Amino acid sequence: MMRNLTPGAQIDELRAVLQISEQRRQKAEARLADRERQLGYATAIIADLDQHIAELQTESRALRDDDGQLALISECGVPNEMWA
């Protein structure tokens, strides 16, 4: 059933719809800001892990001889090959 609204009632309905729309927009904006913060945090963690991986790779290369084999010596001074 259609009802004829007065111009004042129409304006009130439009204001109510606009208010609901504005509340939804603000909630969506807050969710987006939260996701951006989460993304920034995740990006920082990934960068830290990338740096750690690079450091481990450098350390690993330093432990290898010219042939690419691990050139470790045990704590007692015996080369690893003697343990095999």
| Domain parsing of the chain, residue ranges | 1-49
pLDDT range class, residue 5, cuts 50, 70, 90: confident
CA angle 15, 17, 18 (to 5 degrees): 60
The predicted structure's pLDDT at residue 40: 97
The predicted structure's pLDDT at residue 81: 60
Q: Which residues on neighbouring strands pair with residue 64, listed in sequence order?
A: 70
Entry pTM? 0.57
The predicted structure's pLDDT at residue 30: 98
The predicted structure's pLDDT at residue 25: 98
CA distances from 40 to 43, 50, 53 (A): 5, 15, 20
Q: Which residues on neighbouring strands pair with residue 70, listed in sequence order?
A: 64
The predicted structure's pLDDT at residue 54: 96
pLDDT 10s digits, 51-83: 999 999 998 888 777 777 766 655 555 555 655
pLDDT range class, residue 31, cuts 50, 70, 90: very high
